[in-house]
Amino acid sequence: MLAVHRDVLNIVQAKFLSAEVVRSIHLNVSAIDGRRCDENRILALVEYNNSFALFILISSKIKPLSISDLSIETVIPIDEYFSCDTEPIEGSQFHIIFIITYKKIVRAFKIEIGLESSNFASEVIRSKEVSLYNKPIFVWLDKYIGTMSEPSHTSDLGQTDTPIIRQHIAQGPSGINRDSMLKYQLKLKEPEFTQKQEFSIFVGTWNVNGQPPSISLRPWLSCDENPPDLYAVGFQEIDLSKEAFLFNDTPREAEWYKYVMEGVHPKAKYKLVGLARLVGMQLVVMVNSQHYPYVKNISVDTIGTGLLGKMGNKGGVGVRMELHNTSLCFVNSHLAAHVDEYERRNQDYKDINARMNFKRTPQAIKDHEQVYWLGDLNYRITDLTTTQVKTLLNRHELPTLLRADQLNQQKERGNVLLDYEEGDIKFQPTYKYDLNTDTFDTSEKARPPAWTDRILWRGKGVYQVAYRSHMDLRLSDHKPVSALFKSEISVVDPSKYRRVHEELLKKMDKYENEYLPQVTVDQTEVVFELVKFRERQTREITIANTGMVPAEFEFIKKLDENSYCKDWLRIIPYCGSINPGEKCDVKLEVCLETDLTKIYDILVLHLKGGKDMFIIINGDCQKSSFTTSISTLCRISVPIMQVTDEQWRLALKDVSESSVLYSVPRELWLIIDHLYRHGLKTRDLFESSALHEEIIRIRDWLDFGSLDPLPGNVQAVAETLLLFLSFTKDPVIPYDVHDACIAAASNFQNCRQIVLQKVSDLHRNVFLYICMFLQEILKYSNDNGYDAKTLASLFGDILLRDQIRNSKPQASRGKSNFVYNFLVNDMSSSIMPHK
Amino acid sequence: MSAGPYNYSYIFKYIIIGDMGVGKSCLLHQFTEKKFMADCPHTIGVEFGTRIIEVSGQKIKLQIWDTAGQERFRAVTRSYYRGAAGALMVYDITRRSTYNHLSSWLTDTRNLTNPSTVIFLIGNKCDLEGQRDVTYEEASKFAEENGLMFVEASAKTGDNVEEAFLETAKKIYQSIQDGRLDLNAAESGVQHKPSQPGRNNLSSDQQASKDNCAC
């Protein structure tokens, strides 16, 4: 055994009780998750009393120096359900894939072929054999499940008796509280074992307008004399196809990645840190390979803010990491388009900030020491005509133009990118050019030039050296932009670190009893005002650390519940760390999407290694047609808020055919009628997302009734239709026939049979009514640009929506194929006539 | 390698349960801080306290969970029973209703903990003899019938508080000695001294592995 191996084995062993023996470990393992490859895993085979388990540990360093560098990611018991296998990697002689299967979990790891891997694999196989003879008991694993860093994996383990993480109570001081204390104290003492070192960071952004890569990126990425230490390269619109929009799948990702790799500075070698992509947005972060060993805790996330607030035609993608001891976050965003939509852009920015949630601490963008924000932010120049802009440009009066720049204006007002800095812009606007030229838009629309593509930053010790555009790259209607930074990164001295670390451990042993976390919460009962459908309401509670140690808080699950809060509530942040004497505001945001009449819950706010507090949530809800069942809506003849209690009771209770008043809900008819009259020829009718207020106005118009015309523009009404169908109490096509629908999708007659026989009259009416309307849209496909496939994908996921709401923008092909049948065949005769 | 040892060899988990206002938090405070906390606010959640005690020459760290007594939190506080080695069930000798509810608390305890959990009944506020509403004999009989340990105590004066916590620990320690308590089960609410991070822990943990093998 190598000396390195033995050192690490000892450290891994310290993570366990002494009777739990680490039999074998495997270092340098990469976890493969889809296309992503997470390095720094260690596999450990652990035995207690003849029962074996495989632990997947995350090491925050390539080679862990102490127990606090390791956290347990997943625990897999080795019993009859366990199996493992290997698979060759095409074109690689040095690595294989090691696959572990346990019940429904499949995990794949890339490992190097060699003595270590064959020893490890044979130990695992032997342990599996042993477990077949004994009846292994796995109670000893319970306590580790509570310490796993990604609890999402635990639910798959089938060990459902751990809803509330109480195991580490009995683990006491070795539990997480100790870790957080250590982290805090280490941070305080950071200057004692680190020094600042300057790193050059190249940040680039380019909206490529859907063009495939065809030219070298060297003039952009390698324009500086010296190779940068780190690259963050962001693209927007790498693929404008409907396919990419609906299924988030594009061959362009790999193509652009290849061009980036070929375009980086020739004087250095680079290694990929993280790649994040959502539809057309792609962010590639790479480091000079000599720095790669000092990169840790990599995580990526993507946020869609487009249609329905989740589709990925707009939004942001992020990559976070720690380089040595400094946390860095890169965000590439593509915000809403059109000159007037700057509020929407501000909103997109806020949404990305609020929703981007990395799986490593810190999780939020704002909590990183350095953030680099790049992208097509889409802010334009206001109040100047194209001619005026061009004249000013010719006269080199950039300051005048920059004062009219929406981003500068909005930023000044504190509406966006508040504490970010941007360097002086000394380059021409980067949008909009005729393709393959340096000439501003000469088309009929003659859009005024604008600085849509920007790079900003926040954080200490970041100095911008260059900020420029690259006119020579003429592929797109945008020009690429880049910025070069000199950024201070704190670098650890390992021997000093070890000394400080050891001293701290000793000190903590001594003062343990005084180090219990203490916090107070300013309110324990939170009452919301009347809660309305999809109208967010926020309350803030403040958690103050009144103790002597950092308090790591987390809202935790109650017994028999599968989440720490009900689905109508969001808690931001739901976990975090507060230093002594500091406070943390926690936002409680209610968003009602069901037909509840009251909201009520008790939240459990847990302090790691300390007490729990209860917070009561209370509020009444207003009913809405959006969350009512189709069957009930067809039994009321007036807007839902005008219905008397008696009528409402009857409509909910009476399911007889005679009580049906309408063949489709009145609200649905009103929406579709409006779209039919005003929207058939609208381009991208279903792809632009409306302002939230517009949707609320339409909702109130439908629910309260009004003599005024339906408010909102036609795209807002179109989004309302999608929303309406997404939230009715039951889906248009009942859950229990979805599988049958998908299975029948290739045959219209089979699909037709399902709709005729397995779907109730009212639901069938709604389904066919929608399909007829979509057929109507298809008649004008020259104007609106829709084809049957696209509409089918868009509506497939809504008409056959999943029981568990899908938050990621990805359509199901089976459902889309099913709906497609009804867009190209006539079924109008099957609609029940109106009485 | 530096030793930096923990100064205890076991960790026991306790819970304190009983109606609202019987003085659960005050008992905990009296035990951990040796002070009476006047005007103690209602607990909304589960408080946590810790103290190291000595039983038969062994240092033991008690981790004590003091639960909210309000009825509306009952469903939530139930999840804290699991894995308790000791349960202190408290009533107020001056309020009969708190005594009457004991059987319901006892049912929860029996259902939610394991058979080896030691249950100790405490009649609190024994300094208020003049307002007594439940006799010692009556409660003593109830304890005997249900196989509970029992004292009357006062969080205000400190009478019998120490005893209640210590007797519970002795009983748990006995169970370990008798082998009735499976140390490695997370449910037991008892843990050996945890392994010291970053150092070789052969010497100090040999004891632990022996015990583990015994069960």
Q: Between vectors from CA A674 to CA A669 and to CA A680, what angle results, nearest 5°?
A: 115
Helices A813-824 and A788-799, interaxial angle, to 10°?
A: 120
pLDDT of residue B5: 32
CB–CB of B195 and A602 under 8 A?
A: no
* Residue B203's pLDDT band (cuts 50, 70, 90): very low
Is the pLDDT assigned to residue A1 strictly greater than 70?
A: no
pLDDT of residue A408: 96
Of B73, B83, B194, the CB nearest to A614: B73
* Residue B207: its H or E element: helix B202-214
Token pair recorded at residue A445 = 């629309």
The dihedrals phi and psi of A308, each to the nearest 5 degrees, come to: 60, 20
User: A416-449: per-residue pLDDT in tens?
Assistant: 999 999 999 999 999 999 999 999 999 888 888 9
- Overall average pLDDT of the B137-147 stretch: 96
Q: In chain A, whose CA is at the least distance from the CA of B66?
A: A611
Lowest mean pLDDT among A179-193, A313-327, A802-816, B38-52: A802-816
Q: In chain B, whose CA is at the least distance from the CA of A175?
A: B194
Cα A536 to Cα A590: distance, rounded to the nearest angstrom: 6
Q: Looking at the domain covering A3-158, what would its CATH class be?
A: mainly beta
CB–CB of B13 and A170 under 8 A?
A: yes
Helices A748-758 and A813-824, interaxial angle, to 10°?
A: 90
CB–CB of B51 and A513 under 8 A?
A: yes
Q: In chain B, whose CA is at the least distance from the CA of A504?
A: B4
ipTM: 0.83
Q: Is A516 on the interface with B (CB under 8 A)?
A: yes
Q: What percent of chain A has pLDDT over 90?
A: 55
Lowest mean pLDDT among A157-166, A796-805, A813-822: A157-166
**CATH of span A519-621:** 2.60.40.10
Of B46, B186, B206, the CB nearest to A611: B46
Cα B124 to Cα B106: distance, rounded to the nearest angstrom: 17
Residues in chain B: 215
Of A170, A505, A558, the CB nearest to B79: A558
Of B48, B198, B208, the CB nearest to A505: B198
Domain borders along chain B are 10-199
Largest CA distance in chain A: 86
Name A71's bridge partners: A58
CB–CB of B2 and A14 under 8 A?
A: no
User: A84-124: per-residue pLDDT in tens?
Assistant: 888 888 777 788 888 888 887 888 888 888 888 888 888 88
CB–CB of B195 and A174 under 8 A?
A: yes
Return the C-alpha torsion angle A16, A22, A24, A26, nearest 10: 10
* Residue A501's pLDDT band (cuts 50, 70, 90): confident
pLDDT of residue B193: 57
Please state which architecture CATH assigns to domain A627-830: Orthogonal Bundle (1.10)
pLDDT of residue A509: 57
Count CB-CB contacts under 10 A for residue B100.
Answer: 12
Domain borders along chain A are 3-158, 198-492, 519-621, 627-830
Interface of A with B in 483-502 (CB under 8 A): 501-502
Cβ proximity of A31 and A86 under 8 Å? no
User: A195-227: per-residue pLDDT in tens?
Assistant: 999 999 999 999 999 999 999 999 999 999 999
Collect all residues of chain B within an 8 Å Cβ-Cβ radius of residue A602.
Answer: 72-73, 75-76
Q: Looking at the domain covering A198-492, what would its CATH class be?
A: alpha beta
* Residue A219: its H or E element: helix A218-221
Collect all residues of chain A within an 8 Å Cβ-Cβ radius of residue B113.
Answer: none
Interface of A with B in 384-423 (CB under 8 A): none
CB–CB of B212 and A17 under 8 A?
A: yes
Cβ proximity of A767 and A759 under 8 Å? yes
A534 class by beta-carbon count within 10 Å (0-12 exposed, 13-18 middle, 19+ buried): middle
Cβ proximity of A60 and A149 under 8 Å? no
Cβ proximity of A169 and B63 under 8 Å? yes
Collect all residues of chain A within an 8 Å Cβ-Cβ radius of residue B14.
Answer: none
Cα B215 to Cα B210: distance, rounded to the nearest angstrom: 9
* Residue A164's pLDDT band (cuts 50, 70, 90): very low
* Residue A163's pLDDT band (cuts 50, 70, 90): very low
Q: In this predicted model, which residue has the larger pLDDT, A201 or A10?
A: A201
- Overall average pLDDT of the A44-69 stretch: 84
Cα B11 to Cα B64: distance, rounded to the nearest angstrom: 10
CB pairs A-B closer than 8 Å: 131
**CATH of span B10-199:** 3.40.50.300
CB–CB of B48 and A611 under 8 A?
A: yes
Token pair recorded at residue A203 = 């940040």
Token pair recorded at residue A206 = 């380019």
3-state SS track over A307-364: HHHCCCCCEEEEEEEEECCEEEEEEEEECCCCCCCHHHHHHHHHHHHHHCCCCCCCCC
Which of A22, A559, A565 best tests the B interface by mutation, with the highest count of B CBs <10 A?
A559
| Centroid of chain to Cα A821 | 33
Lowest mean pLDDT among A169-173, B128-132, B164-168: A169-173
Residues with Cβ within 8 Å of A416's Cβ and at least 6 positions away in sequence, in order, are A345, A346, A349, A350, A407, A410
Which of B6, B16, B43, B48 best tests the A interface by mutation, with the highest count of A CBs <10 A?
B48
Name which of A48, A44, A43 is nearest A20 in CA terms: A48
Cα separation values, A304 from A81, A238, A348, A460, B60, Å: 38, 15, 9, 29, 53
Lowest mean pLDDT among A165-174, A214-223, A517-526, A556-565: A165-174
Lowest mean pLDDT among A41-45, A404-408, A432-436, A514-518: A514-518
Is the pLDDT assigned to residue B211 strictly greater than 50?
A: no
Residues with Cβ within 8 Å of B35's Cβ and at least 6 positions away in sequence, in order, are B29
Cβ proximity of A818 and A796 under 8 Å? yes
CB–CB of B184 and A140 under 8 A?
A: yes
Q: In this predicted model, which residue has the larger pLDDT, A554 or A656?
A: A554
Cα A664 to Cα A424: distance, rounded to the nearest angstrom: 58
* Residue B181's pLDDT band (cuts 50, 70, 90): confident
- Overall average pLDDT of the A257-268 stretch: 96
Is the pLDDT assigned to residue A512 strictly greater than 80?
A: no
Cα A13 to Cα A20: distance, rounded to the nearest angstrom: 8
Helix extents (H) in A163-208 = 176-188, 190-193
Collect all residues of chain A within an 8 Å Cβ-Cβ radius of residue B206.
Answer: 18
Of A19, A66, A610, the CB nearest to B209: A19
User: B51-100: per-residue pLDDT in tens?
Assistant: 878 888 787 888 899 999 999 999 999 989 988 999 999 999 999 999 99
Name which of A313, A311, A281, A283 is nearest A298 in CA terms: A283
* Residue A627's pLDDT band (cuts 50, 70, 90): very high
A484 three-class SS: strand
